[in-house]
Amino acid sequence: MSDLRETRLEKARALEALGQTPYALSFAPSHRTAQLQQAHADLAKGEERSEPVAVAGRLMTRRVMGKLAFFTLADESGPIQLYIDKASLEAAHPQNPEIFSQITTLTDAGDWIGVHGTLKRTDRGELSVKVRDWQMLSKSLQPLPDKWHGLADVEKRYRQRYLDLIVSPHTRETFRRRALLVSSMRRWLDEREFLEIETPVLQSQAGGADARPFATHHNALDLPLTLRIATELHLKRLVVGGFERVYELGRIFRNEGVSTRHNPEFTSVEIYQAYADYHDMMALTETLIATCCQTVCGSTVIEYQGTSIDLTPPWTRATMHELVQRATGLDFNAFTSRAEAAAAMQAVDLVVPEAADSVGRLLVEAFEQRVESSLIQPTFVLDYPVENSPLARTHRSKPGLVERFELFIVGRETANAFSELIDPVDQRHRLEAQQERRRAGDPEAQTVDEDFIHALEVGMPPTGGLGIGIDRLVMLLTDSPSIRDVIAFPLLRPEVGSDAMR
């Protein structure tokens, strides 16, 4: 293994001995390879064009046969073949009779090189740059992954994402789509006069969600701090301050397990619109996501893991009660006590966790056990129990419920929205109830943020609020089975005692 590296280092030294650098300062390509492929699509087999071009990129494969060599050079736009003919290369460099053996022996797959030349389509039909001159731009000291199998080791794909990107077009496409999704989402919001305002990541009190935060510390103030678990409470303060449409798209941190659907740092967008309720936010959600899907995928009907998903609005709307009743036969509106609901659940083989200490929490349990994973096409699930939703406004007509929806696609929660609770007295009672649960041992229960309550007392207009999980949306739009496929550098346990990272 170190032999490979040593061999390449020797080639770098050989270049230096020839008065060339293995690490160039710059190069000026005239075209990207895809431009050439497009512009010369009409060039016939065996024909040449004398138009001079300069291209740069990474050597992917090399095929040397005596006095002729074919290299594949790839830049960001794609590959092009280099046609390296000993006779014509030497004719262009009468002072350097070794030039052909230099390009064939001092280069390796993985090197960045720049070449000048003209165009030729080979007898086999491959558009090629016929090389007149070449320059090492950056000598690679490490081998590329197996050229047939690529990076089969899933862990290595995440740990050494640069290798994955080099050899996996699908991975490159995934991160292109991710960038396109984020920019198109921002553009859509900006065009509708939503302001993106950044709120603190470092907070003395993490709030806005049921989750455990990461703890850190500020030295100068000797202050314990946590990383944010949501942007909700600060964005709402901005609405109190008079910004009627605000959002923030950014990183959230939750000190939780790692799975194919969870990474401890992930990206969300939270959107708040004054004078709107959760019905307005449903319309916004389906239009926003469908628009972004159209931009990123070119259609609102997409394929995810072999299943066709239709994101064309409008999407199905159903209450949690309806969905649970349809799936289990149980009417949770009829239960008057937890014991009654628990007995009914057990009768249909539903698990009844002790922590679910109310009819409402049991309803959510039944939903999660029997409904959630079956919601493949986009579905708005409406009207959650009040005890699970301390920041949502109580339902205008259904006692015990709040005006909240979650959006499910391919069985995954993808968005969450409320008619926001703006009544400061009710809000204090709700957060105090949460704090009581926290004292009783629930580490994810929320706390009372006095300044937030104070802001509500100053006065917040009626507001609709929405949060969308960007990573899960990217998974959907890139047909990725794991959240780690859509995060460039997902959290992994650090490697110990290995030279693989050398």
Partner RNA sequence: GGGUCGCUAGCUCAGCGGUAGAGCACUCGGCUUUUAACCGAUUGGUCCUGAGUUCGAAUCUCAGGCGACCCA
Q: Do the beta carbons of residue 315 and residue 283 sit within 8 Å?
A: no
Minimum CB separation of residue 338 from RNA in Å reads 19
Q: Does 7 bind RNA (CB under 7 A)?
A: yes
DSSP 300-328: SEEEETTEEEE-PSSPEEEEHHHHHHHHH
Residue pointed to by tokens 């969450």: 416
Minimum CB separation of residue 215 from RNA in Å reads 20
Among the listed ranges 32-40, 118-126, 272-280, 434-442, the one in contact with RNA (CB under 7 A) is 118-126
The answer, yes or no, to whether the previous bond of 200 is cis (omega within 30 of 0) is no
Q: Which is nearer to RNA, 125 or 224 (CB)?
A: 125
Among the listed ranges 67-75, 208-216, 240-248, 452-460, the one in contact with RNA (CB under 7 A) is 67-75
Q: Which is nearer to RNA, 3 or 222 (CB)?
A: 3
Q: Does 148 bind RNA (CB under 7 A)?
A: yes
Q: Does 152 bind RNA (CB under 7 A)?
A: yes
Minimum CB separation of residue 409 from RNA in Å reads 16
For the record, the structure tokens of 253 come out as 């941190």
Q: Do the beta carbons of residue 165 and residue 171 sit within 8 Å?
A: yes
For the record, the structure tokens of 468 come out as 């969308």
By CB under 7 A, the residues from 385 to 444 that bind RNA are none
Q: Which of 456, 167, 147, 216 is nearest to 157 (CA)?
A: 167
Cα(372)–Cα(303) distance, integer angstroms:
20
Residue pointed to by tokens 């207009």: 461
**Helix/strand/coil for 258:** coil
Q: Does 451 bind RNA (CB under 7 A)?
A: no
By CB under 7 A, the residues from 44 to 63 that bind RNA are 61-63
Q: Does 146 bind RNA (CB under 7 A)?
A: yes
Cα(369)–Cα(310) distance, integer angstroms:
24
Q: Choose, by CB under 7 A, the member of 94, 242, 257, 459 that binds RNA.
A: 257
Q: Does 66 bind RNA (CB under 7 A)?
A: yes
Q: Does 143 bind RNA (CB under 7 A)?
A: yes
Q: Does 123 bind RNA (CB under 7 A)?
A: yes
Q: Choose, by CB under 7 A, the member of 156, 172, 338, 398 that binds RNA.
A: 156
Site size for RNA, by CB under 7 A?
52
For the record, the structure tokens of 65 come out as 């046969």
Helix, strand and coil content of the chain, in percent to the nearest 5, comes to: 35, 25, 40
Q: Choose, by CB under 7 A, the member of 20, 32, 40, 85 that binds RNA.
A: 85
Q: Do the beta carbons of residue 388 and residue 320 sit within 8 Å?
A: no
Name every residue whose Cβ is closer than 8 Å to that of residue 374 and which is 6 or more positions away in sequence: 327, 411
Cα–Cα distances in Å, from 178 out to 17, 258, 297? 45, 21, 11
Site string for RNA, 292-331 (x = CB under 7 A): ----------------------------------------
Interface residue list for RNA (CB under 7 A) = 1, 3-4, 7, 11, 61-68, 70, 72, 81, 85-87, 105, 108-109, 122-126, 128, 143, 145-149, 151-156, 158, 257, 259-260, 351, 369, 481-482, 484, 492-493, 500
